[in-house]
Amino acid sequence: MLYEATTEAVNLKEEAQEQEDARFAEAAEAEGEAAPEPPDCQGQNHHVISRPIAKALKRHKTLGGLYEPRDERFVAKAKDRDSHCGYQQWHRDVDKEVIRWLRDFPTATRKEFENFLRGIYSRPDMLKRFPHGF
């Protein structure tokens, strides 16, 4: 009985945190912090440190001040228009995942964070979009 109540409480807390992360990314997009879809794009440069991620990094205990929004050190060239044009759903999902990771690892080092990012961009679905990684 106690285990079930604890498990339910943990699940509710995780669900609430996921909703908060989604609201955070959506609010950043609504404030114009995410790049709008440009006209006639043919495969954009993708900034791994998006504005929503940079905002979360700014508040991070150990990583604050180390990265800039749309940091030029972390750019990947998209294969084509379908791979990246504007702030697509896959981009929102990646932002939420990174923001969640930053929250879950408040004392992460720069090396750990960058390895986490490289892990995301090494996934098969991401390599299809960005064949050269970042």
Is residue 77 classed as helix, strand or coil in its secondary structure? strand
Mean pLDDT of 55-62: 97
Is the separation of the CB atoms in 50 and 64 below 8 Å? no
pLDDT of residue 25: 54
CA distance 22 to 69: 19
Is the separation of the CB atoms in 70 and 46 below 8 Å? no
- Is residue 63 situated within a structural domain? yes
- Is residue 120 situated within a structural domain? yes
CA distance 52 to 8: 30
Q: What pLDDT digit, counting tens, does each position of 21-41 carry?
A: 455 555 555 444 555 544 555
**Which range among 82-86, 112-116, 123-127 shows the weakest confidence by mean pLDDT?**
82-86
- Is residue 74 situated within a structural domain? yes
The two tokens of residue 22 are 């989604």
- Say whether pLDDT at 9 is over 80: no
- Is residue 134 situated within a structural domain? no
**Which range among 3-7, 17-21, 59-63, 110-114 shows the weakest confidence by mean pLDDT?**
17-21
Using N-to-C axis directions, what is the helix angle for 2-30 and 51-59, rounded to 10°?
Answer: 120
What residue numbers bound the domain in which 48 lies? 2-32+41-129
- Is residue 64 situated within a structural domain? yes
Question: What are the helix (H) ranges across 36-104?
Answer: 51-59, 89-104
Most confident of 27-36, 67-76, 77-86, 100-109: 100-109
Number of structural domains, the chain? 1
- Is residue 20 situated within a structural domain? yes
Whether the pTM exceeds 0.95: the reply is: no
CA distance 28 to 132: 28
Distance of CA 30 to the CA centre of its chain: 16
pLDDT of residue 28: 53
Considering the chain, what is the average pLDDT of its residues? 81
- Say whether pLDDT at 116 is over 70: yes
Q: How many helices (H) and strands (E) does the chain have?
A: 5, 2
